[in-house]
Amino acid sequence: MSVRRPATLTTLLTSCCLAVPGPAAPAEGGLVQRGKDLYGQYCVACHGANGSGVAQTRPKRIGGGPLRLQAQQEGVAPPLRGVGALAADFYLTTGYMPLQHVGLQPRRSRVLLTSGQIRALVAYVASLGKGPPIPKPHPERGSLAEGMRAFTDHCAGCHQVVAEGGYVTGAVPPPLEDATPTQIAEAVRIGPYVMPSFSVRAISDRELDSIIRYVQYAKHPDDRGGWAIGHVGPVPEGLVAWLIGMAVLIAVCVVIGERLKHEG
Amino acid sequence: MRARAKDVALSALLLVVGRRKRPRLRRGEHERIVPEQPPDAGGELLAIALLAASALCAIAFVAFYALDRLPNQTQLLGGALGLCFCFLAAALIVTAKRIVVSEQIEHEYPLEEHPHEQETVVQIVEESGDRLTRRRLFKLALFGAGGALGVALLTPAASLGPILDVDPFYGTPWRRGRRLVDGTGKPYRAADVEEGTFYTAFPEGADREELGASVVLVRLAEDELTLPPALARYPAEGIVAYSKICTHAGCAISLYRTPLFAPTEPGPALVCPCHYSTFNVADGGSVEFGPAGRKLPMLPLAIDGRGHLRAAGNFDEPVGPSWWGVRNRSAKP
Amino acid sequence: MIRRAVRFVDQRSGGAPLVRKALRYVFPDHWSFLLGEVALYAFVVLVATGTYLAFFYQDGTAVVHYRGPYPPLRGEEVTEAYRSVLDISFSVKAGLLIRQTHHWAADVFIAAIFVHLLRVFFTGAYRKPRELTYWLGVTMLVVALLEGYLGYSLVDDLLSGMGLAIGYAVVLSIPFVGANLAELIWGGPFPGKHEFFARMYVLHVFLIPILIAVLLAAHLALVALRHHTQFRGERRQTERKIVGLPLYPAYTPRSLGLFSAVAGVLFLLGGLVQINPIWLWGPYHTYSSTNGAQPDWYLGWLIGALRLVPGWDFTVGHYTLVPNPFWGGAAFPLVVFAFLYFWPSLERRFSGDVRYHNLLERPRDAPGRTAIGMGVLTWTSFVFFAGASDRVDVLFGLSYTAQIWTYRVLVWVLPVVVGAVSYRVCVELQRGELVEHERKRAEAEARAARGAA
């Protein structure tokens, strides 16, 4: 059974020393080379040469203040051998990577790379070792009912039952309204940051299709009751009860209770 | 027939435009109670218009109700009925401000108390009891009977539930050898439980809604485990099982925090979404953060000949939120 | 024709004198005196919409497979209760409107009681002879909180089911007798016997509404018997003389207009703003939960308290004397309600004022009361705000754990600060008024002196 993450520091350091440059795939030589150049620009400071990962920051005596930040951005990051096109595509198309600051939770942000650059980087990372390809989910083949049940079982605890995002101690599972079906499939298989990962054994491709179909539905769910106010329940409901309901009624009381003009 | 129609039309016209002359004070009557005030024709028309609008909205409501398959039917119905009431409210407020007589009147507050009547009441009560010789005993008997009757009448409430027997709180449906199954009843094989994923398991054949039934399964690397000696034999090949019910207030623990890259990310933990009690999965379920006062109960696991996961006993502690006797004994089958 | 009707009633009931008195009953006019009526009319809407819902709701906990028109739940195992509410929402015409109006009415009902309570407290309306009226009101608030909780728990959706489990944990946490009490209520450990939902149903639909109605009738009767308090707006308004509008004709359209406005706002909300979309949450199972689950707003102070109390189970040997949820879920509300109940007596004791009062005070006229009231209000409010701090983290990125630690300090420090500041503000406002008064008097004297000269 595959071990998902580096077990000890020693293993990491050892693998660094034994790093062998990955061979460029001959058919896409140009794309992979371009990807390697981009990798050198954006990724090598944390992920190390040839995706070998960096186990610990080299202690550099460069004083305090703003220079310390520079040292931190040359940070600790996992190796990318064998993560495949799947992981690279996910982290780059969402803007999770490049990460501003080691230790931050990667979040969806403005993607600074063009799609051509992303394709090149993905090709390069995929060439670093055999890994899963970019998935091709088919949500239309999934079942909405199965998706709701599976999402509630596996995902709602962190992402909230209609994918409005939530909180877990130490991280903020994001809302999924901007997630594409491919990205959802990728995230489920990777388990980014502190999210659990679910292999095909845990969630089959068919169940994943259903989950993705449900997430797509959850972006525009049945709101026959009116203005949905965020789909998160009593907190916005209470705000409406006070800021609309009570505000209007107190105003009505003020109008009705206007004191009569009197004599004396 | 035509004469009839003409009459109706004339009456309707008169209704809308006709106005009554203000009645003069009739001779021989009392002074006015409600003061006189000049009329407000504009106010009257405004109120009538608002009432008409209100009526229209009410009719719209009935129409929306009658029409089938109207899109946004709830919004139309609510809008119509709500506006109907709002127009009615506006009409009534206009009536209050401009149509009915506005007056301020004075009144005396009622007397603070009525000492004479109070005394009379006391006197009546006291004199009524004069005949009694065994006053204290009688009172005791009366209150005793009343109290006893009250207790007797309340007693059948005990049938609402067991009260004295707290044994059920310690019980769970787990037994030694019982297989772990998923939500569809399929048994878990140890080989299917992977690191970085979490699974929900139930005892085979049991009622899944019982608090003691659901468990969370996770697999850790053997060297990640830091269990105390008492729990050292609980995992099976690094697979650990904890009760899914939070020991704080009973919500299902459906959050598993597991780092993709341990050096820069928070460590593995099970977290409850209600008040964020955070339980360490590697050391037997201790509370890392949050208001839970008790560690998460752990289920000992074993792997049978076919590779299926089975319980090797009951939890090390009773499951669910704490009560008076929760630490008195361990969970029992 | 009016004469005929009046004669009919008086001949058969002898009620003309009472009606004559009632028609000219005096209502002092101030807008804040209408807040209690807002609550009253919200209650009327609750009873009306609730009766309609009760005809369609089923309190069964038997598990069925959903076969209704909502696709994501097709085939799901749900209880009869949940399915009946899904049917009300999807299959009964106007069902969703009535359901949502009922829920909005509950939220507004308790909000109105709360604002009414603030007015009563900060103007001293609870003083002799109105302590009884006040205690009836506080009791209605407590009962209304329970009624709302039971009402939304009857639906058996994921959010309210989680809330019921928490309620169970709070009952369980009562020292010594918690487990026994929980067994009595639920018929055993959670989720309890099938009859538990029937119990909630009977309480919510029958017993508690009757209780509220009785308390309300007594409350209104006492207000009428002792007459309403008034502000000293004009010189002729005194402790002995009440000035205001007569019930008929002036007050009647105002009151009816307020009722219509309340009904209008509630039905507009019920049709236009979605509340408690239970089809999105799914059914409750003890082994399911979702992030972002919250109780209805009026119980938000309790979830805040439960999250703020650090993780202690207070044990002595093997005995768990005070399990953790007790502090936030039971002790905290008990302290607040005890404060509300005992306040009139405490104020009498400490101020020495045992007189009869018909005139209200402005908050500035009673700096001590205002300061203490603002302090307690701040304490409760900040615990309330703490309850939503996880959504604040999701929306604004403020660390949840940092917020919790900040609130833990704030809820003890801030009430003292706010109380002290309120006291000073009241005293300064009074001083300012005194200066104004003196100035006007001096000017009048000067004018008189000039006139005489």
| Tens of pLDDT, residues C356-405 | 999 999 999 999 999 999 999 999 999 999 999 999 999 998 999 999 99
Q: How far is CA B326 from CA B250, B278, C208, in A?
A: 14, 20, 33
**Interchain CB distance below 8 Å, C242 and B108:** yes
Supply the pLDDT for residue B164. Answer: 87
**Is C286 within 8 Å of B209 when comparing Cβ atoms?**
yes
Tokens of C278: 């239970």
* Residue from C96, C286, C390, C394 to probe the interface with A (highest A Cβ count within 10 Å): C394
Tokens of B306: 């076919």
The ipTM (two decimal places) reads 0.94
In 3D space, the residue among B281, B315, B277, B276 whose CA is nearest the CA of residue B293 turns out to be: B277
Q: Is the pLDDT of residue A11 over 50?
A: no
Q: Which residues pair with C242 in a beta bridge?
A: B107
Is the peptide bond preceding residue C367 cis, with omega within 30 degrees of 0? no
> What is the reported pLDDT for B332?
59
pLDDT range class, residue A259, cuts 50, 70, 90: confident
For residue A62, what pLDDT band results from cuts at 50, 70 and 90?
Answer: very low
CB contact under 8 A, A152 and C288: yes
Q: How far apart are CA B252 and CA C287, in angstroms?
A: 5
Q: Is C129 helix (H, G, I), strand (E, B) or coil?
A: coil
Q: Is 1.20.810.10 the CATH classification of the domain at C24-361?
A: yes
pLDDT value, residue B27: 52
Contact call for residues C313 and B322 (beta carbons, < 8 A): yes
Residue reference for tokens 């495949």: A84
Q: B154, B171 in Cβ contact below 8 A? A: no
Of C291, C299, C294, C293, residue with least CA distance to C383:
C299
Cβ atoms of B321 and C169 within 8 Å: the answer is yes
Residue B255 near chain A (CB below 8 Å) = yes
**Confidence tier at C237 by pLDDT (50, 70, 90):** confident
- Which of chain B's residues have a Cβ under 8 Å away from the Cβ of C24? 33, 105, 107
Contacts of B54 (CB under 8 A, 6+ apart): B83, B84, B85, B87, B88, B91
pLDDT of residue A18: 42
Give, in order, the Cα–Cα distances in Å from C188 to each of B246, B251, C175, C184, C290: 18, 18, 18, 7, 25
Distances (CA, A) of A227 to A224, A237, B74, B97, C95: 8, 11, 11, 35, 17
Write phi, then psi, for C265 (nearest 5 degrees).
-60, -45
Q: Compute φ and ψ for B288, nearest 5 degrees.
A: -90, -35
Pairwise CB contact (< 8 Å): C291 & A160: yes
Instruction: Count CB neighbours of A263 within 10 A.
Output: 5
- Inform me whether the pLDDT recorded for C165 exceeds 70: yes
In this predicted structure, which of A199-203, B150-154, B207-211, C14-18 has the lowest mean pLDDT? C14-18
Decide if C243 and B104 are in contact by the 8 Å CB cutoff: yes
Calculate mean pLDDT across residues B309-319: 96
User: Among A173-187, A249-263, C161-175, C288-302, where is mean pLDDT lowest?
Assistant: A249-263
Q: Give the pLDDT score at B1.
A: 65
Per-residue buried b or exposed e for B152-184, using 16+ beta carbons within 10 Å of the residue's own CB: eeeeeeeebbbbeebeebbbbbbeeebbbbebe
Over residues A103-161, the pLDDT tens digits come to 889 999 988 899 999 999 999 999 998 999 999 999 999 999 999 999 999 999 999 99
Quote the pLDDT of residue A45.
85
* Nearest Cα residue to A52 out of A84, A26, A25, A18: A18
* Partner residues linked to A54 by β-bridges: A77
Choose from B74, B170, B277 for mutation: most chain C CBs within 10 A.
Answer: B74
Computed over every residue of chain C, the mean pLDDT equals 95
Q: Quick one: what percent of chain A has pLDDT higher than 70?
A: 80
Instruction: Give B331's pLDDT tier (boundaries 50, 70, 90).
Output: low
Mean pLDDT confidence for B206-219? 96
Among candidates B72, B221, B271 on the partner chain, residue whose Cβ is nearest the Cβ of A3: B221
Confidence of residue A13 (pLDDT cuts 50, 70, 90): very low
Long-range contacts: B266-272, Cβ < 8 Å, 24+?
A: B266/A169, B266/A170, B266/A171, B266/A194, B268/B218, B268/B220, B268/B224, B269/A169, B270/B198, B270/B216, B270/B218, B270/B242, B270/B296, B271/A168, B271/A169, B272/B246, B272/B248, B272/C289
- The DSSP bridge pattern shows strands C63-65 and C77-79 to be antiparallel
Highest mean pLDDT among A101-110, C20-29, C180-189: C180-189
Say which residue, A261 or B163, is predicted with more confidence: B163
Residue type, A233: G
Instruction: Please check the confidence at residue A26 and state whether its pLDDT lies above 50.
Output: no
Q: Find out whether B69 and B93 touch, Cβ atoms under 8 Å.
A: no
Instruction: Report the chain C residue with the minimal C-alpha distance to residue A159.
Output: C291
CA distance A140 to chain C (A): 14
pLDDT in tens, B269-301: 999 999 999 999 999 999 999 999 999 999 999
Which CATH number fits the domain B170-311, given the four candidates 3.40.50.10070, 3.40.350.10, 2.102.10.10, 3.40.50.1110? Answer: 2.102.10.10
pLDDT for position C234: 75
Q: What is the mean pLDDT of chain A?
A: 85
pLDDT score for A57: 62
Contact residues, chain A, for B278 at CB < 8 Å: 169
Mean pLDDT of chain B: 91
The amino acid occupying position C221 is A
What's the pLDDT band for A14 if we cut at 50, 70, 90? very low
Q: Which residues in B lie closer than 8 A to residue C247 (C-beta atoms)?
A: none
Out of A18-22, A82-86, C146-150, pick the least confident. Answer: A18-22
Name the strand (E) or helix (H) holding B242: strand B239-243
Question: Which segment of A205-214, C48-57, C179-188, C444-453 scores lowest on mean pLDDT?
Answer: C444-453
Over residues B243-256, the pLDDT tens digits come to 999 999 999 999 99
Q: pLDDT tens, B106-128?
A: 999 998 899 999 999 999 999 99
Domains of chain A, CATH where assigned:
26-127 (1.10.760), 139-219 (1.10.760.10)
Mean pLDDT score, A225-251? 96
What is the pLDDT at residue A112? Answer: 86
Is the Cβ–Cβ distance between C43 and C216 less than 8 Å?
Answer: yes
Residues 6+ apart with CB under 8 A from A258: B97, C29, C31
Cβ neighbours of A169 in C, within 8 Å: 400-401
The single-letter code of the amino acid at A199 is: S
Chain C partners of B168 at a C-beta cutoff of 8 Å?
183, 188-189
Strand blocks (E) in B61-189: 105-108, 180-181
The helix/strand/coil state of C316 is strand
For the residues A68-79, what does the mean pLDDT come to?
65
Q: Nearest Cβ partner of A168 from B223, B263, B271?
A: B271
**What's the mean pLDDT in B118-147?**
93
The answer to whether residues C338 and C142 touch, using CB atoms and an 8 Å cutoff, is: no
Q: Is the pLDDT reported for residue C342 higher than 60?
A: yes
Distance from CA of C376 to the nearest CA of B (A): 24
Give whole-number Cα distances, C303 to B287, C246, C331, in Å: 19, 45, 13
- Tell me what pLDDT residue C232 has: 86
By Cβ distance, the residue of B89, B96, B266 closest to A171 is B266
Gyration radius (Cα) of chain B, Å = 39
Q: What are the structure tokens assigned to A56, written together?
A: 């610990």
Indicate yes or no: CB of C162 within 8 angstroms of CB of B34.
no
Helix C332-351 vs helix C131-153: crossing angle, to nearest 10? 170
Average pLDDT value for residue range B137-149: 95
Dist. CA A93–CA A90, nearest whole Å: 6
**What tokens appear for A254 in the block?**
């003020």
pLDDT in tens, B12-60: 887 877 776 655 555 556 788 888 888 889 999 999 999 999 999 999 9
Chains linked to A by 3 or more Cβ pairs within 8 Å: B, C
Kindly state the percentage of chain C with pLDDT values over 90: 90
